[in-house]
Amino acid sequence: MTRPSATLSIGPVLGIGEIEPGDDLAGIIARQSQLADGDVVVVTQKIVSKAEGRLVPVGGDVAEQRRRIIEEESVRILRRRDELVISETSHGFVCANAGVDFSNVRSGWAALLPVDPDRSARRIRDGLRAATGRDVAVIVSDTFGRPWRRGVVDVAIGCAGIAAVLDLRGSLDANGRALQATEICLADEIAAAAELVMGKASGVPVAVVRGLDSTWFRRGSVAAEIIRPPGEDLFR
Amino acid sequence: MTRPSATLSIGPVLGIGEIEPGDDLAGIIARQSQLADGDVVVVTQKIVSKAEGRLVPVGGDVAEQRRRIIEEESVRILRRRDELVISETSHGFVCANAGVDFSNVRSGWAALLPVDPDRSARRIRDGLRAATGRDVAVIVSDTFGRPWRRGVVDVAIGCAGIAAVLDLRGSLDANGRALQATEICLADEIAAAAELVMGKASGVPVAVVRGLDSTWFRRGSVAAEIIRPPGEDLFR
């Protein structure tokens, strides 16, 4: 039985500025925020990829280069329509264009997904602890489309220090019957919530969520908890 | 160009109690909360369905009755595995078991989705305005699974007074290039955020989100903005 949470607050972290390969993301976030134990720091994939140097040049025939990069980053193409490719990445994410970003990156470059976004989250978390002494969780978020529903939402591609999926199996509802929807994708809900204060066009790449249930904080892994193995997936 | 939002707050509305067919949901929510202009009130589908009397008996052979109800509520079955059916409802939602709820409902009964969840949201919004004088938006949320990703998240099935999808087409990124992901499913992100203070097992069916960008408030419709017409859907 989870307790209803107290009121949550979600605030943008301003003044992060342009991130370059090699930048100390944790140090920059620590300087621009006032973290407390139990905060969840949500960091968009783009600045993580930039700090990690996951940038590739897009020169010559841009459309052709774009296609090549997306195919290199895909292990399987699921659907293709005009410029849009829905594919599975080496991580197991199914998303548009293999998660390769061509906007909010310097002209002539594209940003690839981090090699291991859970590891990226762990590194930022460790860096934040070293810089602030605070025990926080970190979620690396990205913007994905969905089948059947228009519009994109932010989801978690990596996490550290918080459950990716909250397992309520065995819990009973208010009438004592077994709960039906029992595995809540907590990390995706937190990533979506954080997007509400980021604003795609305003370049706020970090937000802090404060007030989440303390029982939800544990190691956590998007790869281990959220990626659905192809064998149990009805749509792959 | 959207402004970065100020800090958001998300709070549970406690003391809603058990909802019965015919109950005045707006009146009950108004009494249990202190609404302000610009709040978004997120109400879970289950109490909307109960108030609207969208309940059907599940008698006799429960497994057989369950199958019958799910098939009656579906216009098309997409996938089936054991007890799980993924189908499209008459509204155009693609979800498990046609959105029919068998938990958190009195034993022997199931709750169907509202006939027109946007209309349900408009009614609650009008009722809240009548009861409080406040101009708020309303989202009716439900819990859906997703292909490729484990765990469920709350999404919007109806809305009133707020954009379901935020259209940023034509906006430029911080480097002056056209934004890539330009239609944000705002209503789904708000529904997901609200779930974080509800807690599936704790029976908190309403939350209030305060602090969203005032430019996002307009008529809004999940049916018109979020449901992807089959013709433009790559996965139907």
Residues of chain B found within 8 Å of residue A86, distances taken between Cβ atoms: 234
Q: Which two tokens stand for residue B184?
A: 């944000």
Q: What is the pLDDT of residue A81?
A: 87
Looking at the complex, does the CB of residue B12 fall below 8 Å from at least one CB of chain A? yes
Distance from CA of B79 to the nearest CA of A (A): 7
Given an 8 Å threshold on Cβ–Cβ distance, is A9 in contact with B11? no
Given an 8 Å threshold on Cβ–Cβ distance, is B148 in contact with A101? no
Can you list the residues of chain A whose pLDDT is less than 50? 1-4
Looking at the complex, does the CB of residue B107 fall below 8 Å from at least one CB of chain A? yes
Q: What is the pLDDT of residue B201?
A: 54
Looking at the complex, does the CB of residue A76 fall below 8 Å from at least one CB of chain B? no
In chain A, which among 183-202 make CB contacts under 8 A with chain B?
Answer: 183-186, 188-190, 192-193, 195-202
Mean pLDDT of chain B: 91
Given an 8 Å threshold on Cβ–Cβ distance, is A168 in contact with B14? no
Q: Given 2.120.10.30, 3.40.50.2300, 3.30.1330.100, 3.60.10.10, which CATH number is that of B9-54+114-226?
A: 3.30.1330.100
Stretch among A170-179, B118-127, B156-165 having the lowest mean pLDDT? A170-179
Task: Identify from A3, A93, A146, A165 which residue to disrupt to test chain B contact, counting B C-beta atoms within 10 A and taking the largest count.
Answer: A146
User: ipTM more than 0.90?
Assistant: yes
**According to CATH, where is 3.30.1330.100 located in chain B?**
9-54+114-226
* Cα nearest neighbour of A206 on chain B: B4
Q: Which two tokens stand for residue B26?
A: 């707006």
Q: What is the pLDDT of residue A199?
A: 74
* Cα nearest neighbour of B181 on chain A: A152
Given an 8 Å threshold on Cβ–Cβ distance, is A200 in contact with B107? no
Q: Which two tokens stand for residue A130?
A: 């070293």
Q: What is the mean pLDDT of residues B75-99?
A: 93
pLDDT category, B179, cuts 50, 70, 90? low
Task: Identify from B93, B146, B167 which residue to disrupt to test chain A contact, counting A C-beta atoms within 10 A and taking the largest count.
Answer: B146
Q: What is the pLDDT of residue B2?
A: 44
User: In the CATH hierarchy, which fold is given to the domain comprising A55-112?
Assistant: CofE-like fold (3.90.1660)
Closest partner residue to B4 (CB to CB) among A168, A193, A198 is A198
Determine the longest span between alpha carbons in chain A, in angstroms: 64
Given an 8 Å threshold on Cβ–Cβ distance, is B200 in contact with A181? yes
Q: Is A134 buried (19+), middle (13-18) or exposed (0-12) by CB count in 10 A?
A: middle
Which residues touch B232 (CB under 8 Å, ≥6 apart)?
none
**According to CATH, where is 3.90.1660.10 located in chain B?**
55-112
Q: Which residue has the tokens 């309520």?
A: A168
Looking at the complex, does the CB of residue B175 fall below 8 Å from at least one CB of chain A? yes
Closest partner residue to A4 (CB to CB) among B18, B180, B198 is B198
Provide long-range contacts, Cβ within 8 A and 24+ apart, for A97-102. A97/A70, A98/A69, A98/A70, A98/A71, A98/A73, A98/A74, A99/A45, A99/A73, A99/A142, A99/A157, A100/A66, A100/A69, A100/A70, A100/A73, A101/A45, A101/A46, A101/A49, A101/B180, A102/A58, A102/A66, A102/B177, A102/B180
Residues of chain A found within 8 Å of residue B101, distances taken between Cβ atoms: 180
Q: What is the pLDDT of residue B1?
A: 37
Q: What is the mean pLDDT of residues B67-77?
A: 94
**According to CATH, where is 3.30.1330.100 located in chain A?**
9-53+114-227
Q: What is the pLDDT of residue B180?
A: 60
* Cα nearest neighbour of B230 on chain A: A148
Given an 8 Å threshold on Cβ–Cβ distance, is A195 in contact with B189? yes
The Cα–Cα gap between B110 and B102 comes to: 5
pLDDT category, B230, cuts 50, 70, 90? confident
Given an 8 Å threshold on Cβ–Cβ distance, is B234 in contact with A166? no
Looking at the complex, does the CB of residue A181 fall below 8 Å from at least one CB of chain B? yes
Q: Which residue has the tokens 């709350």?
A: B154
Instruction: Please identify, in words, the CATH class of the domain defined by A9-53+114-227.
Output: alpha beta
Q: What is the pLDDT of residue B235?
A: 80
Closest partner residue to A175 (CB to CB) among B104, B177, B197 is B104
Identity at A109, one-letter amino acid code? W
Distance from CA of B153 to the nearest CA of A (A): 6
Give the DSSP per-residue string, B180-220.
SS-EE-HHHHHHHHHHTTT-TTTT--EEEEE---GGG-S--
Q: What is the pLDDT of residue B20?
A: 95
Given an 8 Å threshold on Cβ–Cβ distance, is B147 in contact with A189? no
pLDDT per residue as tens digits for the range A98-129: 999 887 788 889 999 999 999 999 999 999 99
